């Protein structure tokens, strides 16, 4: 099918909820994408952040193929070998990265579901209902997660949302201390706000937040859905700040392209009771096999270190650009935001025409999240094109 046929057919049925670019992507490998007309693009989005190990990594594909022929879906109401090993392997990473001694893991199917489970858990374990989130935060689009998401454009058409949620200025401990009280069940934060414009919090902030949560008996939930799986140059972005949250939410790249959300928490805070929470497809053997392959590839190919090294290089290159069109270039690892003086949409369009696939964060930030496996030469080519477009 060509672009016209694909777009006309899809346009008859699509929900209207997601704006589309006038391109039909039909194939991907590593950090390269191809459209229906045969045009090739360098992927600087990791497909909204899910492809940290790249598209169709041979080890992930082989693991999926093998598991497809064995057992695809098997709900958590019985045990399963793939899920058991997946939980064990993921727990090793979480316990090391977050300084946890023991954890529980709830697998679901998306980032927003991982946040929903975190909210339910926090309410259940604390017996309290108030939640504090931050301005510019993005935590998903289902009713609970949407209540934590800040942008009024996403929230207002669907109000009333879950009551008891307050938003305070990000990276501002005074603002947090004013609203966080003994009625607060949990605080939810991102280590780097992605959708909100690629803004990173500081070590002082996160350390003070940890102390405040302890003092006021509130749980600390960190959303690592976009920042996790090596994206920021650490397996989990919490590691940059030696932060040990109570609960984390993961998604996107942890499933290697299959649908997976993860809510994990320290064993010492307790867990759900039978019947409280679950999911038909969550933690199915197919996605667990894919996720195990992701963790293996991350280690074998040193992708965490690679993200740190390539990210540093890319940030330096982009920060050296003249400031005619640019307000600020910021980022952590391979999560980079270029805040422009004008709108980002025309820049994105020109980049697509020049073969670079990038994404926005809000109206004026160019967000760059290349797969961590991207060849240095591809990244150099992408950076050269971005520079030319921005100059
Ligand atoms: N939290 C963060 C930080 C995200 O970036 C996203 C998605 O972009 C979500 C939550 C929601 O994840 P999903 O789209 O898988 O539901």
Domains of the chain by start residue, with CATH = 3-57+302-390 (3.90.1150.10), 62-300 (3.40.640.10)
The pLDDT score that the predictor gives to residue 61 is 98
Q: What is the pLDDT of residue 78?
A: 95
Task: Provide the mean pLDDT of the chain.
Answer: 97
Cis peptide before 160 (omega within 30 of 0): yes
Is the pLDDT assigned to residue 368 strictly greater than 90? yes
Nearest atom within ligand 1 for CA of residue 50 = 15
pLDDT at 75: 92
Catalytic site includes residue 124: no
Tens digits of residue pLDDT in 210-221: 999 999 999 999
Residue in 130, 126, 121, 118 with CA at minimum distance from that of residue 162: 130
Torsion from C-alpha of 199, 373, 62, 87, nearest 10 degrees: -40
pLDDT at position 187 over 90: yes
Strand order in the sheet with 32-35: 25-29, 32-35, 40-43, 356-357
In angstroms, the CA 108 to CA 114 distance is: 6
pLDDT of 177 higher than 90:
yes
| pLDDT tens string 39-65 | 999 999 999 999 999 999 999 999 999
Task: Kindly give, in sequence order, each residue whose CB lies less than 8 Å from that of residue 94, ignoring residues fewer than 6 positions away.
Answer: 100, 103, 105, 236, 248, 264
Q: In this structure, how many other beta carbons lie within 10 angstroms of the beta carbon of residue 386? A: 25
Task: Check residue 100 and give its pLDDT.
Answer: 98
Separation of alpha carbons 83 and 69, rounded Å: 16
As a whole number, mean pLDDT of residues 363-374 equals 98
| Mean pLDDT, range 161-190, rounded to an integer | 97
Q: Which two tokens stand for residue 174?
A: 């005074």
Of 260, 226, 269, 287, residue with least CA distance to 60: 287
**Of the candidates 32, 42, 12, 37, which has an alpha carbon nearest to the alpha carbon of residue 22?**
37
Is the predicted pLDDT of residue 323 greater than 90, yes or no? no
250-294 pLDDT, tens digit each: 999 999 999 999 999 999 999 999 999 999 999 999 999 999 999
Dihedral, 304, 305, 306, 308 alpha carbons, nearest 10 = 90
Instruction: Determine the distance separating the centroid of ligand 1 and the alpha carbon of 323, expressed in angstroms.
Output: 31
* Statement: the pTM of the whole predicted model exceeds 0.75: yes
The Cα–Cα gap between 236 and 241 comes to 10
- Find the 113 Cα to ligand 1 centroid distance in Å: 9
Does 391 score more than 90 pLDDT?
A: no
Q: What's the pLDDT at 351?
A: 98
43 a catalytic residue: no
| pLDDT number for residue 273 | 96
Q: What percentage of the chain exceeds 70 in pLDDT?
A: 100
Cβ neighbours around 324 below 10 Å, total: 8
Distance 252 CA to ligand 1 centre (A): 7
* Ligand 1 binding pocket mutation candidate from 139, 225, 259 (most atoms within 8 A of CB): 225
For residue 238, what are the β-bridge partners? none
**C-alpha dist (Å) from residue 71 to 5, 74, 83, 109, 312:** 36, 7, 11, 17, 42
What is d(CA 201, CA 238) in angstroms, rounded to the nearest whole number?
A: 10
pLDDT of 72 higher than 90: yes
Which of 346, 360, 341 is closest to 389 using CA atoms? 346
The pLDDT value given to residue 297: 98
pLDDT range class, residue 25, cuts 50, 70, 90: very high
According to DSSP, the residues that pair with 266 across neighbouring strands are 103
Q: Is the pLDDT of residue 165 over 90?
A: yes
């Amino acid at each position: 099918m060509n672009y016209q046929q694909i777009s006309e057919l899809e346009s008859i049925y699509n929900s209207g909820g997601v704006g589309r670019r006038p391109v039909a992507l039909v194939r991907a490998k590593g950090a390269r994408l191809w459209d229906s007309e045969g045009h090739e693009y360098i992927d600087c989005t990791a497909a909204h952040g899910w492809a940290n190990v790249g598209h169709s990594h041979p080890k992930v594909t082989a693991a999926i193929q093998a598991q497809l022929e064995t057992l695809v879906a098997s709900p958590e109401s019985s045990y399963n070998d793939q899920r058991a090993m997946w939980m064990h392997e993921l727990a090793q990473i979480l316990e090391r990265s977050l300084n946890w001694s023991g954890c529980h893991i709830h697998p679901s199917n998306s980032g927003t579901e991982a946040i929903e489970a975190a909210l339910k858990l926090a309410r259940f374990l604390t017996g309290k209902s108030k939640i504090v989130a931050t301005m510019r935060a993005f935590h998903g689009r289902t009713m609970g997660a949407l209540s934590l998401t800040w942008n009024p454009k996403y929230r207002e058409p669907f109000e009333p949302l879950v009551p008891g949620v307050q938003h305070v200025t990000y990276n501002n401990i005074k603002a947090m201390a004013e609203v966080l009280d003994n009625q607060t069940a949990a605080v939810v934060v991102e280590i780097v706000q992605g959708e909100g414009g690629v803004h990173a919090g500081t070590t002082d902030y996160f350390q003070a937040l940890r102390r405040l949560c302890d003092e006021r008996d509130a749980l600390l939930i960190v959303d690592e859905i976009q920042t996790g799986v090596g994206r920021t140059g650490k397996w989990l972005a919490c590691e940059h700040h030696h932060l040990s949250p109570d609960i984390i939410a993961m998604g996107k790249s942890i499933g290697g392209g299959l649908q997976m959300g993860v809510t994990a928490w320290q064993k010492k805070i307790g867990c759900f009771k039978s019947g409280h929470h679950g999911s038909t497809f969550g933690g199915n053997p197919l996605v667990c096999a894919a996720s195990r392959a992701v963790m293996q590839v991350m280690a074998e190919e040193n992708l965490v270190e690679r993200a740190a090294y390539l990210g540093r290089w890319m940030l330096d290159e982009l920060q050296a650009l003249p400031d005619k069109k640019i307000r600020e270039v910021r980022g952590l690892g391979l999560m980079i935001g270029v805040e422009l003086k004008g709108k980002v949409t025309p820049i994105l369009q020109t980049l697509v025409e020049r073969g670079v696939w990038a994404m926005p964060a809000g109206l004026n930030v160019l967000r760059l999240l290349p797969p961590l496996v991207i060849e240095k030469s591809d990244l150099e080519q992408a950076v050269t094109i971005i520079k030319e477009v921005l100059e």
